[in-house]
Amino acid sequence: DGGITQSPKYLFRKEGQNVTLSCEQNLNHDAMYWYRQDPGQGLRLIYYSQIVNDFQKGDIAEGYSVSREKKESFPLTVTSAQKNPTAFYLCASSINRHNSPLHFGNGTRLTVT
Amino acid sequence: AQKITQTQPGMFVQEKEAVTLDCTYDTSDPSYGLFWYKQPSSGEMIFLIYQGSYDQQNATEGRYSLNFQKARKSANLVISASQLGDSAMYFCAMRDSGGSNYKLTFGKGTLLTVNP
């Protein structure tokens, strides 16, 4: 079955460590996205990529980095510069078409202590 | 800059009744699309329904329909015959034409609770 796989589901890290969240899709979608969700907040866009080897900052990119070396993969690194990294992270993909919905993975819950 | 507003942090509805979840948006772009997603407590985001700004009719998908009032910039989700499984967070989102930009901007969501 086609879909988006995020791993791991739960991730725990010590403050000051970088951590990389995995996102893989086999839907053959060109565009991929990373969103962050905090309690009481909607989804906020961190980074997005519309084609391989290209990506753009979203609304809250500070303290995060991404790469898009393959169409199927869009890993997100949460760096030690991110002041409040504990959150629920959602990866999504879509066709580059305006009426195309985003397809989401099941998310990674990151806890930094 | 586009903006999505969902003014109802929480809503309650009796099983089998209909419920309307509000969404207003702000964009200066004549071409845009509106999406609704459901997020159960498990965290997955489930796409429900889409409405394009140029669509002549309100979108419907099974028990979901969209009350699209373009002049008022509102795109309310109507769920008919509510079921216990409809209890979840619901998010409204928008994509405008923004050049080649395909990102979605989300509202803060409405938590719907269906009572038996």
pLDDT tens digits, A60-105:
999 999 999 999 999 999 998 899 999 999 999 999 888 899 999 9
pLDDT at A56: 94
- Mind telling me how many Å the CA of A107 is from chain B's nearest CA? 7
The verdict on a CB contact (< 8 Å) between A99 and B31 is no
Average pLDDT over residues B10-29: 96
Which ranges constitute the DSSP H helices of A54-109? none
Q: How far is CA B35 from CA A26, A112, B97, B108, in A?
A: 23, 32, 14, 14
**pLDDT at residue number A97:** 82
pLDDT band at B2 (very low <50, low <70, confident <90, very high): low
- Pick from A90-94, B25-29, B90-94, B111-115: least confident: B25-29
pLDDT at A1: 64
Q: Which residues contact B106 (CB under 8 A, 6 or more apart)?
A: A35, A42, A43, A44, B4, B37, B91, B92, B93
Query: Do B103 and A48 lie within an 8 Å CB cutoff?
Result: yes
Instruction: Give the nearest partner residue to A43 out of B32, B91, B97, using CB atoms.
Output: B91
Cβ atoms A90, A35 nearer than 8 A: yes
pLDDT for residue B1: 56
Q: B108 contacts in A (CB within 8 Å)?
A: 40-42
What part of B 36-95 touches A (C-beta under 8 Å)? 42-45, 47, 50, 52, 91, 93, 95
Q: Does A58 touch chain B (CB under 8 A)?
A: yes
List the single residue in A40, A96, A104 with the smallest CB-CB distance to B45.
A104
pLDDT tens, A9-65? 999 999 999 999 999 999 999 999 999 999 878 899 999 999 999 999 999 999 999
CA B1 to chain centre: 19
Quick: pLDDT tens for B45-103: 999 999 999 999 999 999 999 999 999 999 999 999 999 999 999 999 999 766 556 78
